[in-house]
Structure 1
Amino acid sequence: MRIERNIGDYVIYAEDSVVNALKRIGENKSGIVFALDQSGRLEGVMTDGDFRRWVTSTSHIDLSTPVSAMCNRQYLALGVDEDYADIEKHFDARVTVIPLIDRLGHLMAVAFKSPKELTIGRHKIGEKHPAFLIAEIGNNHNGSLELAKQLIEKAAEAGADCAKFQMRNMATMYRNTGDAADPSEDLGAQYTLDLLARFQLSEQALFEAFDHCKSLGMEPLCTPWDEESLASLERYGMQAYKLASADLSNHDLLQAMARTGKLIIASTGMSNEAEIRAAVKVLQRNNANFVLLHCNSTYPAPFKDINLNYLDRLSEISGGPVGYSGHERGFHVAVAAIAKGAKVIEKHFTLDRDMEGNDHRVSLLPDEFRQMVQSIREVEEALGNDDPRRVTQGEMMNREVLAKSLIINCDLQKGQTIQADMVEVRSPGKGLQ
């Protein structure tokens, strides 16, 4: 479900003409407009279907007729403060759009059964579009802008749609300002802080890497680990954001991302279902466009713990497209996720798995990523659709050669009744099947 609070594209004044209402429906591509009086109160609803019924029931069609004369006044409306779960209960095959009004009847928002088509740059994310494939470079550049650019170039050659990085402000993000030598931290934390400090790219270097992505036709994406980094990425003009699994319960950062109005791709590793649902409520409450990624945050993730079947449940929770962020070895699980409905795939990417750093060992090499892309595109093509079964051209040719026909086994006289013993079944299948 999607709650749209910017309702300008969906409203028209009741005294305005039918032809202008039709123009508005064509512009918003939702098949509906809401007719308001001068004070903003909802008077009626006009859909494509309402227009067709009006046209077929009137002898004189005048498109300058006011919308109020033909709009549907028998509509379902709910309170704008209704709980999301209660609103969703009213959707069915017939009801896909619900106006949300205040206690005086003013239209305040519109609830849509399905989320609108999500976009990142020139890429669309949704049921009818190819999966969006992310090469997660993260910090695998090991602090080198030159290596970052090589990774971007190899990812583009492998067929990635996007190269993703990470940005963090060490001084404000960590309680000890990111001091790797802090004796109060254990050795694991000290090691991680040391790697992060040494393998960070400067803000300017990251922006240069993003520009390099664009020059190669790829979308740049970045995970801000704190609000200061988010502000920096906003200054750059990032078109979408990735939320790390570790921050799914960080509602302050989640709300800050949602306020940007940009698409959020959020990983769900390390979280239980209650935490996932709580994050979804935060995103919905802030009218965010988002994609949830199923994820197991173990490096590498054991196959027994991945549970791809959860993608179905995750889709129900989010009410929109879902994807998969994989930390297991190889890429066959990511390909399988496509068959389960994933529309975003994220896999770590490196040029050398023996390099220093936590992510290199669970990353794909360029040729492996290329094979994954090819396999995913083949599976997408093979999935096809759920239309009624038809015989393909190739099958028709084989059917003529291999199938059988009904043939007559005697000289048939004009007017003679055909009996069962006169008919035999023989190949080829060029006759009566």
Structure 2
Amino acid sequence: MSIFDNLIIFEMANSHQGSVEHGINIIKEMGKIAREYNVKAAVKLQYRDIDSFVHPDFKERTDINHIPRFMSTKLNFEQFCELVDAVKSEGMIAMSTPFDETGVQWCVEQGLDVIKIASCSSMDWPLLEATAATGKPLIISTGGKSIADIDKIYNFFTHRNCEFALLHCVAEYPAPLERLQLDFIDRMKKRYRNITIGYSGHEDPDDNIVSMLAAAKGARIHERHVGLPTETITLNAYSMNPSQADRWVKSIVTARDICGLKKENTKYISQAEIDSLNSLIRGVYAKRSIAIGEKVTENDVFFAMPYQEGQLSSGDMYDGLVATKEYSVNAPINEKKYTSDIKSARSVIHDAKGMLFEAGIALGNDFEVELSHHYGMKNFRQIGAIIINIVNREYCKKLIIVLPGQKHPRHLHKIKEETFQLLYGDLEVEINGSKSIMQPGDMKTVLRGQIHSFSSKTGAIFEEISTTHVKGDSYYQDKEISKLDLMERKSIIKEW
């Protein structure tokens, strides 16, 4: 699991007043909250070398925003080391936002787990070069940045093979609710599919609806400013005290539970939910006496609750049902559920269409669907593939859909050369005994005569570009497959 996933970041408000002792007290309070809710938490500091960060002619100026605060809260390297040790002793992740190259070097020397780039620095290319060179995981805030700006940031770090995450952020302090634009999280998730997206909030510290909405939108990192008020220290309008931070974390944990964000990316159906629905669905009951071997139609039955264990439900009733036992009037019909190649094929097609929808791949209207079932439809979900034939001229284009847990058996082509490009999901490709795991965008070329196969754990869609496809040009290693007529192992679907 990525260090970014489900991460909660406590950012030290107002540079912890430039006090190591006060900073440690804040860290201890946040440590209590992290343990209370058993969350992966980080404390974020801010590093800047004041001697060089502020121009010497302006250090004494009090009329320029931020400079008086920076000068009054100045700490040296050794003092920051004390704070880092305190974070780690509380079992939390230590991270910092460096605002200059000296700060980046401090992050490296202190062995910080993560480096954060502030919104104001997210297009400071010299600083970004320095952070990228560290090889550390990076989190970049995008407050005040257009989609074109974020594209530049994304490409900058992608080209340097960095591990990084992006935070949606509105850089107003405090940020008005009407300008939070949480829908932009959706767009970031679609546009930067392989990147963790989070949310850095500056709204009213008592507002926990926003944190729950951000979690529901799919933010996997949450960040807020936190502090510790005292008789002499008053927090600003966007920073949380410990009790507010406690409620904030609790709201995120609750939202994650409600949305199922801690589970696999699939829909979980509990036994309690099944039992609840079964208590309301209708069972199939005999309307008249039915003899063994008699064909049963809907005219011979009625649907009523309760549905009993082993009984056909109203949704399981089918044409062609033949009774395997005698039934008296009002008796529950206890027959095996109907399965057929047609029913299996329909189920497979529905799954394939769902994968295409989720991947955002549109097929248009001119294509042909082929189910490649090497060991019959009953084994299709284990062995086979869905082949969508789009173009077959001097060049050929297909989309191949591999269902979760499905494998396509070893075979070769004597005439056709083909190249695979993974569009969606995960794919393991084996070529002449050499296996490789493909990620979306990766390509593999299969030369004539090379024995190859592919499989997927969670499901995959890949594009196959090849020379002209010729029927009968697939030669399988398994002799049982080779014995089959071409039409015995393929079904052509006309109605998609």
TM class by smaller structure: 0.5 to 0.7
Given the superposition, is the C-alpha separation of residues 320 and 178 from structure 1 closer, same or farther in structure 2, using an over 3 Å criterion? same
Q: Is the 8 A contact 1:163 1:220 kept in 2?
A: yes
**Shift in Å, 1:278:** 2.6
Given the superposition, is the C-alpha separation of residues 355 and 269 from structure 1 closer, same or farther in structure 2, using an over 3 Å criterion? farther
Q: Is the 8 A contact 1:135 1:348 kept in 2?
A: yes
> C-alpha deviations, 1:269-308, integer Å up to 9, x for none?
1223333233333323433221111111100111221212
After TM superposition, the score normalised by the length of structure 1 is 0.62
Matched, 1:170 2:50: yes
2:251 maps to which residue? 375
2:222 maps to which residue? 345
**Shift in Å, 1:201:** 3.4
Matched, 1:207 2:81: yes
> C-alpha deviations, 1:205-256, integer Å up to 9, x for none?
2211111111111011111111122222322222321111111121001101
- Tell me how far apart the structure 1 counterparts of residues 152 and 119 of structure 2 sit (CA, whole Å): 14
- Tell me how far apart the structure 2 counterparts of residues 303 and 268 of structure 1 sit (CA, whole Å): 17
Given the superposition, is the C-alpha separation of residues 180 and 153 from structure 1 closer, same or farther in structure 2, using an over 3 Å criterion? same
1:402 maps to which residue? 280
1:6 maps to which residue? none
1:360 maps to which residue? 236
1:429 maps to which residue? 307
1:237 alignment partner, SS class: coil
Q: Is the 8 A contact 1:295 1:324 kept in 2?
A: yes
Q: Is the 8 A contact 1:283 1:290 kept in 2?
A: yes
> C-alpha deviations, 1:348-391, integer Å up to 9, x for none?
1123399757x73212232332333333233334335554x675
**Shift in Å, 1:405:** 1.7
Is 300-309 or 416-425 further displaced after alignment?
Answer: 416-425
- Tell me how far apart the structure 1 counterparts of residues 151 and 292 of structure 2 sit (CA, whole Å): 76
Among 123, 145, 158, which residue is 2:20 paired with? 145
Aligned residue identity for 1:174: V
Q: Is the 8 A contact 2:132 2:162 kept in 1?
A: yes
2:209 maps to which residue? 332
Q: Mark the structure with the bigger radius of gyration.
A: 2
Given the superposition, is the C-alpha separation of residues 404 and 391 from structure 1 closer, same or farther in structure 2, using an over 3 Å criterion? farther
- Tell me how far apart the structure 1 counterparts of residues 149 and 295 of structure 2 sit (CA, whole Å): 75
RMSD, aligned CA:
2.8
Aligned residue identity for 1:297: A
1:287 alignment partner, SS class: coil
**Shift in Å, 1:415:** 6.0
Identity %: 26
Aligned residue identity for 2:273: E
Q: Is the 8 A contact 2:15 2:46 kept in 1?
A: no
Aligned residue identity for 2:245: F
1:281 maps to which residue? 155
**Shift in Å, 1:411:** 5.1
Among 119, 125, 128, which residue is 1:251 paired with? 125
Given the superposition, is the C-alpha separation of residues 390 and 265 from structure 1 closer, same or farther in structure 2, using an over 3 Å criterion? closer
2:187 alignment partner, SS class: helix
Q: Is the 8 A contact 1:139 1:200 kept in 2?
A: no
- Tell me how far apart the structure 2 counterparts of residues 325 and 355 of structure 1 sit (CA, whole Å): 28
Which has the larger helix fraction? 1
Given the superposition, is the C-alpha separation of residues 373 and 390 from structure 1 closer, same or farther in structure 2, using an over 3 Å criterion? closer
Within a 5 Å distance, the mapping from 1:87-106 to structure 2 comes to none
Among 192, 216, 223, which residue is 2:97 paired with? 223
2:56 alignment partner, SS class: coil
Q: Is the 8 A contact 1:138 1:165 kept in 2?
A: no
- Tell me how far apart the structure 1 counterparts of residues 117 and 268 of structure 2 sit (CA, whole Å): 43
- Tell me how far apart the structure 1 counterparts of residues 57 and 85 of structure 2 sit (CA, whole Å): 29
2:9 maps to which residue? 134
- Tell me how far apart the structure 1 counterparts of residues 180 and 93 of structure 2 sit (CA, whole Å): 28
Given the superposition, is the C-alpha separation of residues 419 and 179 from structure 1 closer, same or farther in structure 2, using an over 3 Å criterion? closer
**Shift in Å, 1:198:** 1.9
Aligned residue identity for 1:176: P
2:141 maps to which residue? 267
2:447 maps to which residue? none
Higher relative contact order (CA 8 A, sep 6+): 1
- Tell me how far apart the structure 2 counterparts of residues 261 and 432 of structure 1 sit (CA, whole Å): 60
1:309 maps to which residue? 183
> C-alpha deviations, 1:103-152, integer Å up to 9, x for none?
xxxxxxxxxxxxxx64xxxxx33xxxx41110111435212222211211
- Tell me how far apart the structure 1 counterparts of residues 145 and 292 of structure 2 sit (CA, whole Å): 79
Q: Is the 8 A contact 2:11 2:224 kept in 1?
A: yes
Within a 5 Å distance, the mapping from 1:179-218 to structure 2 comes to 179-181=59-61, 187-189=63-65, 192-218=66-92
Q: Is the 8 A contact 1:292 1:322 kept in 2?
A: yes
Q: Is the 8 A contact 2:107 2:115 kept in 1?
A: no
- Tell me how far apart the structure 2 counterparts of residues 212 and 300 of structure 1 sit (CA, whole Å): 29
Given the superposition, is the C-alpha separation of residues 176 and 356 from structure 1 closer, same or farther in structure 2, using an over 3 Å criterion? farther
1:158 alignment partner, SS class: helix
Given the superposition, is the C-alpha separation of residues 355 and 385 from structure 1 closer, same or farther in structure 2, using an over 3 Å criterion? farther
Given the superposition, is the C-alpha separation of residues 174 and 390 from structure 1 closer, same or farther in structure 2, using an over 3 Å criterion? closer
**Shift in Å, 1:172:** 0.7
Runs of 5+ in structure 2 lacking a partner? Answer: 314-496
- Tell me how far apart the structure 1 counterparts of residues 254 and 210 of structure 2 sit (CA, whole Å): 15
2:172 maps to which residue? 298
Given the superposition, is the C-alpha separation of residues 279 and 411 from structure 1 closer, same or farther in structure 2, using an over 3 Å criterion? closer
Given the superposition, is the C-alpha separation of residues 427 and 390 from structure 1 closer, same or farther in structure 2, using an over 3 Å criterion? farther
